[in-house]
Chain A
Amino acid sequence: MKKIIIGALCMITLLVSCESQLDINSDPDLLTPEDVAISSEIAAGIIGIAGAHNSSISFVGGIWSQFWAQSLSSSQYRSVDNYTIGTNDYERTWSNTYDALSDIRNAKKIALERENWNYYLIATSLEVYAFQILTDFYGDVPYVEANDPTNFNPNFNTGQEVYDLMITDLDDALGRDLAASSLPAPGGEDFLFAGNMTNWIEFANTLKLKIFLRQTEARPSVASAGITAMLNSNAAFLTIDAGVGVNGGVFEDEASLSTPVYEADRRQLNTQNNLRASTTMWSFLLANSDPRLDAFYQTEATDGSALNSLDQGDFNSAASPASVSLADISPISPVFFISAAQSYFMQAEAMERYNSGTGAKALYDAGVLAAFAKSPNFYDDSKGEGEQTWIFDTSYDGSPFVASGGAYEYPSAGTLEEKIESIITQKWVSCYPDQGYESFFEQHRTGYPKESSLPQSDENYIPGEWAYSVEGLTGGVFPQRLVYPNQELSRNSNAPTILAITVPVWWNN
């Protein structure tokens, strides 16, 4: 009947072509979801996660881990440095993570249907990796009901539930027979390992280790049982860096193609000098004559004069801005997911805690060496920001530091706490520049680096100890979490009430 009416209308109005009538409502410029390939969604998912972390919580993590202090001549991250970020700040970690997850989980669904166990493991590993960082910052998050286009109000799972589900999901994917996987095989779209499934198994194992280790304080029995089982089964862990562009060749010094941290802080922001050297990291490296100081920060001005660090949170300082060291951020540096250094440090801690310290020193030493190697100095201090040529130069050698008598020698004879302190402190340094969130979580779990009872301006301040922000507005309490983003609170009827920034996450007790 409708066809007749419309046909009649066409007749009457004469000038109209009646061929296609009203069935024209699909965008001629876009693909439909049926056209998607797993490989495409995996590539989009990996870059999605890299972007979710590297542009947003890298700044929060880097400032809260006291790599950086907000500049005294600009104001971009003041609310991070005085601990007042609220429900409308740094929301993109949340949104970009779930955005990436919608493709990753869709790829996982298709991989399961097609019994492509290679992609199934890759998708699951990415899914869990992204979720752990989310839940570590926010506590309870939607896990089971998330990423469902038919459910606009997903329920939240508690942090513990998410942790248990992540292990279940990883075990499920690791338990599949990769040799029997259907095609296609993963390849170049896999920015982490270019389709090398051995590396993906190591990644998944290391991820499990990371999940268990985070629970050493809150649920020691879960951590102990999980890690012991992995050690007993000789699970293989990462010995190479897992990340995007870890060997160069991915990010370029061009708009919308560079490392997110650089793009967001240097290229697209109207002042490029927000991130200054924090006295915490600066003093630690300086006290240990660590050459990475020069890789992390500008140590002298272009005219050759020496530069200083800025006390954490002292953005109202009256010092001359030109005298304060700027953080070195490069447009071509990698985005790390799990660095080799982190993998070694986690293994060392696991050995110390659950395997009587077997091989812990060697793992620790390997971690420090890997940490030195992963901190190339991209930056030529004698040149201004505009003249940099960005060299991917990995020449730092950490071996003198772990050698006997070296500044970072492993305290083999020390107590467990001393060993943990060494491991976690070195892990903290290894997280520079983009993974400050990881060292922030680890500091809350282990208490290392220690928190200073003195302000950094005090002559007795101990280099490397975390100092409460000079302009902090949380009454002396370090920030513990991110508060839920407003966009979740106001659009999801199942969102919980927000917890203050000073309330610890569940695994921190």
Chain B
Amino acid sequence: MKTKFSGILTLLLAFVVQISFAQEKTISGTVSDESGLPLPGTTVLIKGTSSGASTDFDGNYSITANQGASLVFSFVGYTTQEIVIGSSNTLNVTMKEDASALEEVVVTAFGKKKQKRALGYSTTTVSAKDLTQVTNTNPFESLSGKIAGVDITVPAQPGASAKVIMRGFSSLGSNSPLYIIDGSPISNASNRGSDPNNLSTDATRTFDAGNGLNDIDPNNIASITVLKGAAAAAIYGSRASNGAIIITTKRASKGQKLKVEISSSLDFSEVGRLPHYQNDFGQGWAGQSFSRGTDASNENGSWGAPFDGEVRIWGNVVNDSQQIKPYVAQEDNIKDFFDQGTNYTNSLRLSGGGDTTDFSLVFTDTNSDGVIPTNADAFERKSFNLSAGVQGEKFRVRTNANFITRDQNIVNTGQGDNAGEGESLIQEIIQTPRDISLLDLQDYVNDPFNNNDNFHTPYSRNPWWTINENKTFFKNNRFYGNVNLSYDITDDLVATFQTGIDITNTSINSYGAVVTYTPGSPNALDGATNNAGGVTERKNDRKEYDTYFTLDYNKEISDDFSFNATLGTAYNQISTSFLSVSITDLSVPNFYELTNTAGRQIATQSDTKRRIYGLFGSAEVGYKDRAFLTLTGRNDWSSTLPLDNNSYFYPSVALSGIVVDNGPTYAKVRSSFARVAKDTNPYATSSSLIQAGVVFDFGELNFPIAGQNAFELSGILGNPDLRPEITKEFEVGAEINLFNRRVNLDVAYYNKDTEGVIILRPLARSTGYSSITGNFIDLNNKGFEVSLGLIPIQTKDFSWNIDYTFTKNENEVTDIAEGLSQILINSAFAVNFYAEKGKPLGVYKTRVAATTDSGEIIVDPTSGIPLQVDTEEEIGSSQRDFVMGLKNSFRYKNLTLTASLDWKEGGEMYSYTNRLLGFTGNSIATTFNERSPFIVPNSVNDNGDDTFSENTTPINWDDVTGFYSSSNNGSIEETHVIDKTFIRLRDLSITYRIPSTFTDVIGINSASVSLYGKNLVLWTPDDNPYVDPEVSTFGSDLQSEFGEFAGNPTQRTYGFTLKASF
């Protein structure tokens, strides 16, 4: 069943034997793949003879044969087809991809299809089938662990961002690869709560409304090719310095009958990982279950007495009455808060083609509502795609147009904001004592015990209020698409012009309710903080134009040598326009318009524009189809660099050699070297003035003040000496296929140096400035990646496929500018996350407990609390030890079962959830020693003369609570950095393809039904009973490696899909 190797056929063609028949005639046509792309080099053979031809650059062939004879079409990676010649002189053929051999053909830069054997660098291709095996909203959702060398993180939350990092972090800015759809780049900008134009490390009220990838409909993707290394991406220019992801959308084939495909799925979700809570102690503080004299506690934590089951009064006295309940743990009080999520995805595709035309139209509607009650996390996306082409004699036109509209309701995370739009949900939930049922707090309108005045604590808000009264809406309209014109100048030379556009219009509307406490009410008396209420309206427009022109030359120079070359120019322009207006201190409650304040409307505005011109060329020489040498070079001119120094050149060279190729066994070695350069963000070359103001630890004071306006020097210093940052990457690898492709191994080792990484260098504030953009650090990433495919069993009825990947990357900050010892990447409370020379990118530091040389903890002699060192010390790094993925597929007749495991080992993360659970006494860790007084283990007192004596001061009864609070015990912060290792059963699916004997009867071409589950099992080490480590509240780049700040929980999903085509 395997395709014969085309090289052998090519050789056979040298011995053409002409056999003549009476009814001989000339047959011609086009050979294309399922997505409509022509397949140059397809072998066409008259069956039973050695007579044949091969298709030209546009997939056209012409052969002389007899009517009634069979033509055999074969191409690597595609199923060989046999077609009997009928009366027509035209025979167009659509080749079907052979799933197991798909990777034989690779889409590389500028949409060129190349045989994988010719490539000197590592690529991975993912087929449509893999993307839609389970129903995903985001195409990268289930790819974690499935592509070696790529670390993919997509939290299981509606509309969450995908973080795709190839071969490690090589920048302190954007590490996102370049995404190319059908030859044109598209934006992957993130939509975060804080200013999307800045790298914010803000822990305050924020959200993740996904990034540009969230607009891509997985149902419309034919394949995704991942170009991991610099050599693969070099020709794309500076923006591909983090690798490139080439997405090819579905096309119809020429001559294809009108086809209708539908796919419909429905799934249900439940809340996934929630923290593991202690169930021994209830509401209270410092061991006391009461807060005012002898009545109930009004604390926002579980530092009260041990549970005893007695019926007790609780909450505030309202109208001379008080509630009672048994004093027992409500083990599932948090879990019960969440409800069932649903997701409907319906997709319809129409496609068809004539002799010279083809079209494909896809409409997909995704409608989901996650596990957070109410529609607070609803997500709705409609996407529409048209792909069509017309072909003339020498001239071809294609167009691809996509329109996406996305509406998303957002549950904010992070620290609440009383002065603005209020609290965030999870922070309030974490502060629920263990004996209080969250479900019983739901009605805060009619039940007086649950309203703000009388809520059981003045220190946190009723979560139901938070979810119902504070809202954020995200809307996004996007168009992207391109037009491609190509013209055959000669048989060997093709000119191509493509122009693409990507326009995104985003709006965000967010508001938070006013909270005022009735004077004299319990919480007013306890000093609960009012909420000012606020409204934010934000518009963000982005436009990207991308144009290229290429000349492609393709020639078999002799039997031994082949040559192809490309010469091209490219132009890219990105402009953004951002406007945000916000108010606080609402005059009229529940009226959320920008006019509703006596205060100031704060407007923030930012417009940017950047351009890049490029000139590039590449050449590939093949020898006997066994050895290939590829050279590329590109020069870019970028507007973001100083005018007199804005040009930079970068070359690459790649070699591949086929060592063994005898049918059952195939072995290839490859090696490449590339130098890529990268520019920076606009407007970093000169200093500027900004409207004056002062920022405090909390809040700010801004001009105009008392009728005076003022401008001041911006804290960001311009840098007229900016240079492009340079990445040099060396890669070696091998591909080995054994036993007729039953064993497929691909290994790669790379070593990547990034010099003069452009960063926003923080400056000592005594300079008067806060930062300057420039080339101030060097980074190195090296690692290896393995992907192994095994087919232990393969029979007609039963097959078993195993796909395994292993990725290991080691990252190091190799140099850092003079005077700078470290660069802060992110921080929360006293835990800071730095880039430091000689360390992996991202080490955690905090002021740890002081210890003696022999490791004993030095404590304060009067309180027994550990003393802190003066300067912070390293406590870990976010760098993983490895990432691996294992996928098993079993097929029995029409039934397929697939399961994917994903294991990410090592590295640490910050968890504010852990911190707040400790502060509130809700985590299991706080039950140490059953909360009885204890002496800090292995602790000593400083005698003041360089000697130490054993500490005998215990942490007292009422100080145990404070021991878990950083304001009493500063060094507790180091326990908030936890191991982020996990193993996850990422997805599981069972698909039944309805037999054709049945579908034929009801007039359907094919139909299948699948059951699937996502994010089914999550295992984390003992160090992390708190959160799903894939959740971050800091976006989807390096900053997010820091960890989470009261992130929303992930969800587990079960569903089914029906697919049919007519």
Q: Which residues of A contact B (CB under 8 A)?
A: 2, 5-6, 9-10, 12-16, 21-33, 35-37, 40-41, 43-45, 47-48, 50-52, 55-56, 73-76, 78-79, 82, 84, 86-88, 90, 92, 94-96, 98-103, 105-106, 141-142, 146-149, 151-154, 188-189, 191, 245, 249-250, 254-258, 260, 263-265, 267-273, 301-303, 316, 318, 320-322, 326, 383-387, 471, 473, 475, 483, 485-495, 498, 500
Are the C-beta atoms of B697 and A56 separated by less than 8 Å? Answer: yes
> What CA separation (Å) do A326 and B545 show in the bound complex?
59
| Known A23-B643, A102-B768, A491-B762: A47·B692 in contact at CB below 8 Å | yes
> What CA separation (Å) do A56 and B700 show in the bound complex?
12
Residue of A nearest to B571 (CB): A13
| Known A26-B686, A103-B712, A257-B705: A489·B871 in contact at CB below 8 Å | yes
Within B679-714, which residues are at the interface with A (CB < 8 Å)? Answer: 682-683, 685-690, 692-703, 705-714
> What CA separation (Å) do A302 and B520 show in the bound complex?
7
Chain B window 606-627, contacts with chain A (Cβ cutoff 8 Å), 1 for yes, 0 for no: 1111110111000000000000
**10 closest cross-chain pairs (CB), A and B:** A51-B694, A102-B768, A78-B967, A268-B699, A55-B696, A44-B692, A492-B764, A44-B712, A493-B819, A254-B599
Are the C-beta atoms of A486 and B872 separated by less than 8 Å? Answer: yes
Closest CB of chain A to B869's CB: distance in Å?
9
Are the C-beta atoms of A260 and B696 separated by less than 8 Å? Answer: yes
> What CA separation (Å) do A189 and B700 show in the bound complex?
19
Are the C-beta atoms of A44 and B766 separated by less than 8 Å? Answer: no
Residue from A6, A43, A141, A256 with most neighbouring chain B CB atoms (10 Å):
A256
Are the C-beta atoms of B292 and A320 separated by less than 8 Å? Answer: yes
Are the C-beta atoms of A9 and B569 separated by less than 8 Å? Answer: yes
B868 contacts partner chain A, Cβ-Cβ < 8 Å: yes
> What CA separation (Å) do A321 and B297 show in the bound complex?
13
Q: Which A residues are in CB contact (< 8 Å) with B600?
A: 254-257
Are the C-beta atoms of B694 and A48 separated by less than 8 Å? Answer: yes
> Which segment of B131-139, B146-154, B521-529 sits at the interface?
B521-529
Q: Which residues of B contact A (CB under 8 A)?
A: 286, 288, 291-293, 415-420, 459, 497, 499, 516-517, 519-520, 524-527, 529-530, 532, 545, 547-549, 569-571, 573, 584-585, 598-600, 602, 605-611, 613-615, 637-641, 643, 646-647, 682-683, 685-690, 692-703, 705-715, 717, 762-770, 817-822, 824, 830, 832, 847, 860-861, 863, 865, 867-868, 870-872, 958-959, 962, 965, 967-968, 970
Are the C-beta atoms of B770 and A40 separated by less than 8 Å? Answer: no
Q: Which B residues are in CB contact (< 8 Å) with A105?
A: 768
Q: Which A residues are in CB contact (< 8 Å) with B293?
A: 320
Are the C-beta atoms of A86 and B703 separated by less than 8 Å? Answer: no
Closest CB of chain A to B955's CB: distance in Å?
12
Q: Which A residues are in CB contact (< 8 Å) with B819?
A: 152-153, 491-494
> What CA separation (Å) do A88 and B824 show in the bound complex?
12
Q: Which A residues are in CB contact (< 8 Å) with B687?
A: 32-33, 149
Main secondary structure of the interface of B (DSSP, over half): loop
Closest CB of chain A to B67's CB: distance in Å?
48
Are the C-beta atoms of B767 and A30 separated by less than 8 Å? Answer: no
Residue in contact with A99 in the complex, picked from B599, B715, B860, B962, CB distance below 8 Å: B715
Are the C-beta atoms of A86 and B870 separated by less than 8 Å? Answer: yes
Are the C-beta atoms of B968 and A15 separated by less than 8 Å? Answer: no
Are the C-beta atoms of A316 and B968 separated by less than 8 Å? Answer: yes
Are the C-beta atoms of B868 and A268 separated by less than 8 Å? Answer: no
Q: Which A residues are in CB contact (< 8 Å) with B545?
A: 15
Residue in contact with A9 in the complex, picked from B571, B599, B765, CB distance below 8 Å: B571
Residue of B nearest to A92 (CB): B697
Q: Which B residues are in CB contact (< 8 Å) with A489?
A: 821, 871
| Known A99-B768, A302-B519: A13·B530 in contact at CB below 8 Å | no
Residue from B573, B824, B967 with most neighbouring chain A CB atoms (10 Å):
B967
> What CA separation (Å) do A74 and B607 show in the bound complex?
42
Q: A6-B613, A254-B600 are in contact. List 11 more A-B contacts (CB 8 A).
A: A12-B549, A24-B611, A25-B682, A29-B605, A31-B688, A35-B711, A260-B696, A271-B527, A303-B520, A487-B762, A490-B822
Residue in contact with B713 in the complex, picked from A74, A106, A153, CB distance below 8 Å: A106
> What CA separation (Å) do A148 and B765 show in the bound complex?
11
Q: Which A residues are in CB contact (< 8 Å) with B872?
A: 87-88, 486
Q: Which B residues are in CB contact (< 8 Å) with A92?
A: 695-697
Q: Which B residues are in CB contact (< 8 Å) with A483?
A: 870
Are the C-beta atoms of B585 and A86 separated by less than 8 Å? Answer: no
> What CA separation (Å) do A48 and B768 show in the bound complex?
12
Are the C-beta atoms of A12 and B768 separated by less than 8 Å? Answer: no
| Known A13-B547, A44-B712, A188-B707: A84·B764 in contact at CB below 8 Å | no
| Known A44-B710, A88-B872: A256·B692 in contact at CB below 8 Å | no
Q: Which A residues are in CB contact (< 8 Å) with B584?
A: 255
Are the C-beta atoms of B767 and A148 separated by less than 8 Å? Answer: yes
> What CA separation (Å) do A25 and B614 show in the bound complex?
18
Q: Which B residues are in CB contact (< 8 Å) with A37?
A: 711
> What CA separation (Å) do A463 and B119 show in the bound complex?
85
**Between-chain CB contacts (< 8 Å), 23 pairs:** A16-B573, A32-B688, A33-B689, A41-B711, A43-B692, A47-B692, A51-B695, A90-B697, A151-B767, A152-B817, A191-B708, A249-B706, A263-B700, A264-B699, A268-B418, A268-B419, A270-B529, A272-B527, A302-B519, A303-B520, A320-B292, A326-B527, A491-B764
Q: Which A residues are in CB contact (< 8 Å) with B821?
A: 489-491
Q: Which B residues are in CB contact (< 8 Å) with A471?
A: 863, 968
Residue of B nearest to A498 (CB): B870
> What CA separation (Å) do A94 and B710 show in the bound complex?
22
Q: Which A residues are in CB contact (< 8 Å) with B685?
A: 25
Q: Which A residues are in CB contact (< 8 Å) with B830?
A: 86, 88
Q: Which B residues are in CB contact (< 8 Å) with A154?
A: 764, 766-767
> What CA separation (Å) do A398 and B1014 show in the bound complex?
75
Are the C-beta atoms of B419 and A492 separated by less than 8 Å? Answer: no
Q: Which A residues are in CB contact (< 8 Å) with B641?
A: 25
Closest CB of chain B to A260's CB: distance in Å?
6
